[in-house]
Amino acid sequence: MSEEPYNPGAFDAKRAAQANMRRPEIKRFYKEASIAEVEGGYALRLDGRAAHTPRRRPIVAPTRPVAELIAAEWAGQGPVIDPNAMPATRLVHSALDGVADALAETRAEIVRYAGSDLVCYRASEPAELISWQARAYDPVLDWASEVLGARFAVAEGVMFVEQPRKAIHAFEAALARHDGPLALAAVSSLTSLSGSALMALMVARGALAPDEAWRAAHVDEDFQILKWGEDEEAAERRRARGQEFETAARIALSV
């Protein structure tokens, strides 16, 4: 008997998680940023005082490397705090203020991506692009099959292909290992930035280098750049998102 297809519903958990990040301009109000070991992890301290998220929750990271990353961002701020230069802080805020209250919804969002994963959709032409996609995407599908026991279907073009229930369930089981709010927020960020839940999980497991995953996620874009040249504004947006991706990867590997 063939496997039944499965198509999970959509939930924009990332948008919900970041809804509380919108803040007015804030001038720097502290001199030093440091960390302190507390119950449950390592807390950010600003001039020795506890720092909080926009929803007034203590900023506590589960591991020292993550806390040090956050503290370095705060220490590196100028006269005006620039949230765009604080990807680790933004991700921790999202984890504490959003994902912590929506763990099931965040998992469902990631699974939704797996149900229509970037690596499962291939071009029908030209031959060069087909080859590029195969080199970038096939190792991801091989890993999912060999390590997760999840065999995903591949389609040409943009027509939606329903994935086998068994593959989705295998992915869900693997995702369950990343159960803390920050771990799940990191995987969610990697997923939404790359368009691939499978690559995100590989990065979080240390099975795929972040820079390799980022290049793989932009195969189509790089092919177009090769043919038509690069747009400066688009390149800057990609650079900024790439920094977010790298930071999310560092956090995923540290929690």
Count of domains observed in the chain: 2
Which of 71, 99, 127 is where one domain is finished?
99
pLDDT tens digits for the chain (255 residues)?
444 443 433 344 445 445 544 557 889 999 999 999 999 999 999 999 999 999 999 999 999 999 999 999 999 999 999 999 999 999 999 999 999 999 999 999 999 999 999 999 999 999 999 999 999 999 999 999 999 999 999 999 888 999 999 999 999 999 999 999 999 999 999 999 999 999 999 999 999 999 999 999 999 999 999 999 999 999 999 999 999 999 999 999 999
Distance, in Å, from the CA atom of 240 to the CA atom of 189, rounded to the nearest integer, reads: 14
In this structure, are 65 and 111 located in the same domain?
Answer: no
Q: pTM score, two decimals?
A: 0.89
In this structure, are 83 and 116 located in the same domain?
Answer: no
In this structure, are 61 and 109 located in the same domain?
Answer: no
Instruction: Examine residue 8 and state whether it is found in any structural domain, yes or no.
Output: no
Q: Which domain holds residue 118?
A: 101-252
Q: What share of the chain is helix, strand, coil (3-state, %, to 5)?
A: 60, 10, 30
CA end-to-end span of the chain: 40
In this structure, are 187 and 245 located in the same domain?
Answer: yes
Instruction: Examine residue 3 and state whether it is found in any structural domain, yes or no.
Output: no
CA 31 from centroid of its chain's CA atoms: 31
Here the tokens at position 171 are 């992915």
Distance, in Å, from the CA atom of 167 to the CA atom of 244, rounded to the nearest integer, reads: 29
